[in-house]
Structure 1
Amino acid sequence: MKFTCYRDKVTAITGSPAQQLYKLNCLLAELTRSHNSFNAFQIFLEIHSSYHLDPDHYTVSTILAACANLRTTVVGNQLHAHAIRAGLKAFPHVTNALLSMYAKAEDLVSVNRVFAEIDKPDAYSWTTLLSACTKLGDAGYACNLLDQMPHGNVVVWNAIITGSAENGHAGIAFDLFKRMHLLGVRHDNYTFASVLTLCTVELLDFGRVIHSLVIKTGYLVRTSVWNALLTMYFNCESVTDAYEVFEETAANGHDQITYNAMIAGLVSGGRDVEAFFMFKYMQEVCLRPNELTFASIMSSCACARVAIQVHAQVIKIGFSNCTSVNNAAITMYSICGDLLAADMIFRSLEEKDRVSWNTMITSYAQGNLARAAIMTFLQMQREGIEPDEFTIGSLLTSSELLLNTEIIKRLAGSTKIFILDCLSLGHFQEQT
């Protein structure tokens, strides 16, 4: 919606200066929540340039949230300076809005500077700081802050545990989980979900201990927790345990995520038939498959007759224009040996991503259609999409590549080291 529409709303606002500012702040909050940043900034400028209105702490904290949505500090730095000059930085929600803005803009230096200036950080302040530290590569510093933060607040603990889990610091997440338990801080569903998904085969026993703790604390009724348990048991290659969790929680009502976890787990374990039964049962309980469902089930389909039926459901449900689903369909038809169908889907794609091109190139290469793979690669480059290691790996399986000097030159550029690695491993020799 153009700003002229909102200018009419602003003009129509009447009452005392305090009443007008309240109504404008509400409009500003509405625009920020809907990520309509341009109009939000225009409303702020209307307030700031007014002769009888002054932005208050609600105005500034809301417009800072709009800056955070844009993940930029260009305007935010000016607003920060204004908050200091106007004495608004003393309000906790203004300071927390500054923290959030700098965190989303990945400016950890500014996050630390703003936090250091807070006299009494609240739970939101700590959560924002610790989450930013772990996500931006300073998990060690976040751990060093543990002695300063409020130990009894589970939200703060979850911030650093989740941040560590999502950014490759599994060991830190496990240590914090154990420390949290020793200190008597009660875990919640977010804590359990974060840690469970990190368990691997070597940590199956630890995962079972967490499972017992989940039951003991009554969190097995939470969807996010049992979905995390399913993921954990499949990651640990314990399908029997996964089935037990699925059956034990059935009375609570499973959602799409639960069925997707079961289908993906069964497919990854090579239990394709069971995955199809789960796919069928999902629909029998009136749950609509989504793109993740189809992406999983298609990757396990090796029967042309079944492939056609699954693809028909994709079209019927309305995912025929979904790139990720079509990429899975290309793979599915290639597995079934129907490269004509795979090619038709590829050509009909309005938006092809790198996965689309790689999938088609791989399909041709595995079908011993080296020339088609090479031509698709050349077209991929003409479309401005750079190859990656998957593109190159697929092309190097073709002995015909050796006869095409132009392809070797095109692959050489930024991927030269990868090609040399392939040569050293004997990829060409194996094909000749």
Structure 2
Amino acid sequence: MGYADRFRRQRSATVGEVVYSLTHSPYTALGDLYLEDRLGRRRRHPGWVPVVYCALARHLGSYNRLDAELADGLWAQLLAAADDAGLEPAPRSEPFRYYHHAYWRDLIMSDDTARHHLLTRLTEIALEQARRQGLLLPHGPGSITHPHRRRLIYGDGTILRPRFRYRPDNTGARNDPSAATHTRHDGHIWGNNYVLISARGEHPYSRVVLAIGRVPEPGGEAATAIELIQHVHQLAGPGIVGVAYDGAFQGAHHDKIMRTTGLVVINKPHVAVRGDEVVVKRHTLGTYTHTVGRHNQTCSHQLAAVNGRIADIEITEDGTPAVVAWANRHQVKRARRADGTYRFNMVIRLTCRHHNCDWDTWLSPHDDPEHIRLLPPDDIDFDRLYAVRPDAESLNASFKASLVADRAPSIGWQRQLYDVAGFTILHNATNLHRQASIR
């Protein structure tokens, strides 16, 4: 039976399957962070319990329902699965409750160092999971010139609406003070913006969420995404070759990622708008020459970037520029400088219309990152690589489906980030279990 047939036969995960996946996953090691800090109350439950509790809440949709299920037999089922996994025993007569969860959540997420440690450890475990699936391997398939999807990361932001619809200017009404007005392509949304960075293979259940973060202010999604990409790249090393993202990235963001991480950025250029009409985005690059014939005659060409792709243009009789030949990306080179930054150069090949021959020239996307793209939309590799980017929308939809009424279950961005971490653990642990079951 092929992967497609087995994928169609799969159903939604049951509570029992989720409990088994969580207790037998490497993410229970995150519980050690709850035991490192000896401040606060005496620990009555082992560290893995709050980790599994947070993830189970995202499967069941709410903490109230989870507490009811734990009191109605789920606690005994959870302990039996933990015993099977060899985890530290928990008190059988005292189920973990929401007030336990809220105490340890606030203790960790309110401390900047503890919160950073938790999210970093989560990324490290997720990277190990990705490598076991053949993703992000330093000696994996693909190259800088032709990246492979297994060595590609991608991401997107999602705006989480607050638990209460009232805003701080409504005196006396309960509100979320950390929420703000964020602008998207479809309008303005009140809430908190979170970025998720992922990787995935070609098979079902191969997606792994690698890193999560919160956008501190409206308009800062690209900066947050770059910080997460740099963090993941620092931990993963040369296993990552490229990154795909949506329209939040502009030329300056491309340049920063390429210089600091050495990753190829796969992204569609921003459209050019003139009035109410979308027009072709064209930017003149200048005159380039090559030699032909035995006498080394010089031939000149006017090059321009058209929607990110390099073209040979000429001026027609009515004064408008026209494309006479498209360039093909022939080779991409990446050099690391003494200060640790990277610089990309690429060889493009065009056909000379004057002498009917091919000629090559070097260009660097750093010279004009807004218009010169290493992988423009018409490149032979673009569709294959950028096709993974919409999968981030599917991930965001899965996260929203774990919420009640599409609203945050907690108040405050630190608590909501903890909920996103719980969803990440749930998603990765379930996929890890299902990957093993369909092999």
Larger Rg: 1
Q: TM-score, normalised by structure 1?
A: 0.25
TM-score (norm 2): 0.25
* Greater percentage in helix: 1
More strand by share: 2
